[in-house]
Amino acid sequence: MPDDLQHLRLTEPPLPNPALPERPAQVHGRFAVSPAPAYAALDLGTNNCRLLIGSPTASGFRVVDSFSRIVRLGEGLASTGELAEPAMDRAVAALAACADKLFRRPIRQFQAVATEACRRAGNGAAFLARVEAETGLRPRIISAREEAELAMESCAPLLEETDRRALLFDIGGGSTEIAWIRVPPRGSRLPGAPTAELIGYISLPLGVVTLAERAGASCFTEEGFHAVVEEVATHLLAFDRVHCIGQEIRAGGVRLIGTSGTVTTLAGVALALPRYRRPLVDGRTLDMGMADQALGDLFALGRAGLAAHPCVGPDRVDFVLPGCAVYAAIRHVWPLPALTVADRGLREGMLLRMMRADRWPGARAATSRRAVT
């Protein structure tokens, strides 16, 4: 999907910080100093390589550049346990394009992370060493917990005063993260403190790439689709029992937030967009009736219809229905009346974290402690 340039609202606007990070030794020594510094975040996932560069503003940050490419890094990983050479070549080419963008622009702080594919692959560390040697970038493999935290950080601005809890799901290429979140009352928050707290999380080794490879064409049939729904629901019910989420939902004040290509596609279909437009989707709350209808419409399209749809396209045709099956399981286990759609994720979470840490030095220490636990 295209990354439209636009403004994202922050909880706290960042302030300048004179410190500049070291650039990787292989690439010209340092990032350039800028009077209006930009922050950059890179997310190397199982299916996509994404870069986001943002510059602070009075009300948040402005996206000044972005990059997104489907690389299918996790292709074949489920069957071999290793990253395949063609997949690594595609990812290195995308990362080289990101490095070119980064090294031509003044950057104040930069973070790069790698997720499920590199966590699971036997040759994940060797691949990242190759990435550093060939591009100068050094993505850090993060835990499933930190992945959930970053998704939570990016979506926290979508929470409202009436929310007591939030249930956030991120359907990725190689895994699905579910975060159960406490929303502290606004009057009780310390300056610089996060606006949401992670109560619990679960990472399912079921993402759109792994499910597409395993289930294949069966997801285009009712029987195959519902088999995936039931498998995912079994994992979710165990998580529900631990945290009594259903009970909290019945008490009210729980918001369901979804962040992934699956959810934004559902929103694009529900809103009947002639082409996908992020400003019309990000932060939009859909009545569940609309979301359910969109899911049914996507399933009814079949492979040819999905490939031709302006919110899907041929590159994503194999991944949409596996993702919809994961969403349907979430919808079945936790029948909330509405879904808030977030076209944001780890990159936005990293930017928000860096900017908040610059404004509130105490938040930097707290962030560092979270990153190593």
Cα 151 to its chain centre, rounded Å, is: 6
Extract the tokens encoding 292: 């359910």
Confidence (pLDDT) at 230: 96
205, burial (CB in 10 Å: exposed 0-12, middle 13-18, buried 19+): middle
CATH architecture of 7-141: 2-Layer Sandwich (3.30)
Q: What are phi and psi of 286, to 5 degrees?
A: -105, 135
Break the chain into its structural domains and give their ranges.
7-141, 146-341
pLDDT at 364 over 60: no
Q: Do 327 and 292 meet the contact criterion of CB atoms below 8 Å apart?
A: no
DSSP 173-203: SS-EEEEEEE---GGGPPTT--S-EEEEEEE
Confidence (pLDDT) at 126: 96
pLDDT-based confidence at residue 59 (cuts at 50, 70, 90): low
2, burial (CB in 10 Å: exposed 0-12, middle 13-18, buried 19+): exposed
pLDDT at 161 over 70: yes
Instruction: Please give the order of strands across the beta sheet that includes 338-341.
Output: 197-204, 176-182, 165-171, 254-258, 338-341, 285-287
CATH code of 146-341, in short, is 3.30.420.150
Confidence (pLDDT) at 7: 33
Query: Residue 59 corresponds to which amino acid?
Result: S
Helices (H) and strands (E) in the chain, counts: 14, 12
Fold agreement between 7-141 and 146-341:
yes
342, burial (CB in 10 Å: exposed 0-12, middle 13-18, buried 19+): buried
pLDDT-based confidence at residue 31 (cuts at 50, 70, 90): very low
33 vs 57: which has the higher pLDDT? 57
> Could you read off the pLDDT of 204-218 as tens digits, one per residue?
999 999 899 887 788
